[in-house]
Chains A and B, each alone.
Chain A
Amino acid sequence: MDQLTFALAGNPNSGKTTLFNVLTGSTAHVGNWPGVTVDKKEGVYKKGDEPVAIMDLPGIYSLSPYTPEEVIARNYILKERPSCIINIVDATNLERNLYLTTQLLEVDIPMVVALNMTDVLKKQGDSIDVAALEEALGLPVVEISALREEGTEELMRRAIEAAKTTRDAFSVLKGIPSYGAIENAEIAFKLKDIQYPLFHAVKLVEKDELEVKSHPAEASAAVEYLKKNMKDASPFGEDTEAEIADARYKYIVENYAVALKRGRERKLGELTRSDKVDRVLTNKWAGIPIFLAILFAVFHLTFSENFLYLGSMIPPFAEFCEGIAAMENPWLSIFFSGDGLNSPGAMLFYLMEACTGQIGDWLGLGLTSMGAAGWAVGLVCDGVWGGVASVLSFVPQIMTLFLLFSILEDSGYMARVAFILDRLLRRFGVSGRAFMPMIMGFGCSIPAMINTRTLADEKERAATVRVIPFFSCGAKAPILTAVAGAIIADSANFHSTDLIVYGMYLLGVLVAILSLLLMRSTTMRGKTPPFVMELPTYHMPRFKNLMLHLWDKLKHYIQKAFTIILVSCIVIWVLSNFSWNWTFLMEEVEGEMINQQMDKSILGSIGMLIQPIFTPLGFGSQLGPWGWVFAVAAITGLIAKENVVATFGALAACVPVAIISSDVEGVGEVATMVAATGINVPALISFIMFNMTTIPCFAAVASAKGELGGKRFAWTLVFWMVTSYVVGSVIYTVGTWGWPALIWAAAAAAAIIGIVIYNKKADKKAKLLK
Chain B
Amino acid sequence: MTWIDILIIVLATLAVAGVVAMVIVRKKQGKPSCCSDCSSCAGCSACHTKKQEKTDE
Contact = CB atoms under 8 A, between A and B. Distances in A.
Interface of A: 17, 26-29, 36-42, 367, 370-373, 375-376, 379-380, 384, 446-447, 450-451, 453, 548, 552, 555-556, 559-560, 563-564, 566-567, 570-571, 640, 697-699, 702-703, 706
Given A376-B5, A564-B19, A39 B42 contact: yes
Given A41-B45, A564-B35, A699-B32, A28 B40 contact: yes
Contacts of B46: 38-39, 450, 706
29 contacts: A17-B42, A38-B43, A42-B45, A370-B2, A371-B2, A372-B2, A372-B4, A372-B5, A373-B1, A376-B5, A376-B8, A446-B34, A446-B41, A447-B43, A450-B43, A450-B46, A453-B43, A552-B40, A560-B34, A560-B35, A563-B19, A563-B35, A564-B34, A567-B16, A570-B15, A570-B16, A697-B34, A702-B32, A702-B33
Interface of B: 1-2, 4-5, 8-9, 12, 15-16, 19-20, 22, 32-37, 39-47
Main SS of the interface on chain A? helix
Contacts of A702: 32-33
A563 B2 CA distance: 27
A8 to B, nearest CB: 13
Given A450-B46, A556-B35, A560-B34, 9 more contacts: A28-B42, A37-B42, A38-B43, A371-B4, A372-B4, A376-B4, A566-B15, A567-B19, A699-B34
B35 A39 contact: no
A384 B19 CA distance: 14
A566 B42 contact: no
A27 B40 CA distance: 5
A39 B43 contact: yes
A347 B39 CA distance: 31
Contact of B2 (A373, A379, A570, A571): A373
A401 B5 CA distance: 41
B20 to A, nearest CB: 7
Contact of B42 (A41, A559, A570, A706): A41
Nearest to B52: A42
A715 B12 CA distance: 39
A144 B44 CA distance: 27
B12 A379 contact: yes
A374 to B, nearest CB: 10
Contacts of B43: 38-39, 447, 450-451, 453
Contact of B12 (A372, A384, A697): A384
Contacts of B22: 563
Identify the 7 closest CB pairs spanning chains A and B, nearest first: A450-B43, A699-B34, A27-B40, A552-B40, A567-B19, A372-B4, A37-B42
Contacts of B4: 367, 370-372, 376
A297 to B, nearest CB: 27
B1 to A, nearest CB: 7
Contacts of B5: 372-373, 375-376
A582 to B, nearest CB: 14
Contact of A26 (B8, B16, B40): B40
B11 to A, nearest CB: 9
Contact of B44 (A41, A556, A570, A697): A41
Contacts of B35: 556, 559-560, 563-564
Nearest to A453: B43
Nearest to A380: B8
B26 to A, nearest CB: 10
A559 B37 CA distance: 10
Contacts of A451: 42-43
A563 B21 CA distance: 11
B57 to A, nearest CB: 15
Contacts of A450: 41-43, 46
B8 A559 contact: no
A68 B17 CA distance: 40
Contacts of A563: 19, 22, 35
B12 A39 contact: no
A748 B42 CA distance: 40
Contacts of A17: 42
A39 B45 contact: yes
A26 B39 contact: yes
Contacts of A29: 40-42
B33 A447 contact: no
A447 B39 CA distance: 12
Contacts of A42: 45
Contacts of A384: 12
A566 B9 CA distance: 14
Nearest to B13: A570
A450 B4 CA distance: 47
A96 to B, nearest CB: 23
Contacts of A564: 19, 34-35
Q: Which of B5, B8, B32, B42 counts the most chain A CB atoms within 10 A? A: B42
A706 B42 CA distance: 16
A560 B15 CA distance: 13
Given A38-B43, A376-B8, A380-B8, A559 B19 contact: no
Contacts of B9: 376
A438 to B, nearest CB: 15
A38 to B, nearest CB: 5
